[in-house]
Amino acid sequence: MDNFPRFALTTAAADSPLAPENFIPLLKSACYSPEMSEIIFEVREDESDGGFVATALGHAIATQADSVEELRKMVRDAVHCHFGDGEPGPMPKIIRLHFVRDEALAV
């Protein structure tokens, strides 16, 4: 335990960028940047029913479909619905699908 550095907590001055009243708007601007150009979906095969499930990273968007072609249409529709409903931030220009496949190997 003696090898760990010790830190003292201090309160940031009001004019510091780390003061809560300055830091929170900074975080919001980082999350909802007008330069947001893409949104990433994690895509997994649905083991129980077949098909695919896509979930957006960092946004409350999810959809599912029986084929990859149908999934692409469903994801586009879900993104348009999500950002068209007054959700903060601009409509992304690119939708990236990240396919994840789990495989178990016997030893």
* 83 in any annotated domain: yes
* 1 in any annotated domain: no
* 30 in any annotated domain: no
pTM for the model stands at 0.62
* 29 in any annotated domain: no
Strands 52-56 and 38-45: antiparallel
Number of domains in the chain: 1
CATH of the domain at 75: 3.30.2390
What does the pLDDT look like over 33-42, one tens digit per residue? Answer: 455 689 999 9
- Say whether pLDDT at 89 is over 50: yes
Q: Tell me if 53 sits within 8 A of 64, measured CB to CB.
A: yes
Which one-letter amino acid corresponds to residue 97?
L
Mean pLDDT of the chain: 78
107-to-14, 101, 104 alpha-carbon distances in Å: 59, 19, 10
For position 102, what pLDDT does the model report?
83
Q: In which domain, by residue range, is 41 found?
A: 35-100
* 19 in any annotated domain: no
Show contacts of 99-106: CB within 8 Å, 24+ apart. 99/43, 99/44, 100/42, 100/43, 100/44, 101/44, 101/45, 102/44
